[in-house]
Amino acid sequence: MQILYGRYLAACPVNAIQCVAQTRRRQRCTSAVLDPAVPGGIWTLMPATARHGQLALPTGDMAVYDLTHLPYDTQIRWRTQRCTTHAAAPAAADLALTDWEPFDPLLHHAHIHQRLPDSARRTRHTTSRTCPARPPRGQA
């Protein structure tokens, strides 16, 4: 995923990324960050080397969910991993940590895909609905 010109690896598919805010019942919000009523990102192919000066990888391009064309406040909403309701309520506490991990093409080479997702051709979003439990950092 590309947000604010930085690349991140999400713990699950785009449409399964869950809001981290706490609800009034003191539970984690069950809403997704992706809101079909709000313009979303675009699946695109980008060079696998994210930063200038990095060695070029033999893979060339990779599929990236790009949000950089969206307004700044929308990108911040994604980066803070909040649904549209909780983005408008900044006083709501976060009940969980965000699932983003800075993308490193050398460490995360297993996540580099050279083709856009099949569903991106139809809906511009992934189709998986569940987010598996994230393994501890450093484990795959």
Domain boundaries, the chain: 2-122
d(CA 40, CA 46): 18
- Look at residue 126 in the predicted model and tell me its pLDDT: 40
In this predicted structure, what is the pLDDT of residue 139? 38
Q: What is the DSSP string of 15-49?
A: GGPBP-BB-TTSSB---BS--TTS---EEEEEES-
Tens-binned pLDDT, residue by residue, of the chain (140 aa): 999 989 999 989 998 999 999 998 999 999 999 999 999 999 999 888 755 555 555 667 888 999 999 999 999 999 999 999 999 887 888 999 998 999 888 788 788 887 888 766 554 444 334 454 444 444 33
Answer yes or no: are the C-beta atoms of 17 and 81 closer than 8 Å. Answer: yes
Predicted TM-score (pTM) of this structure: 0.76
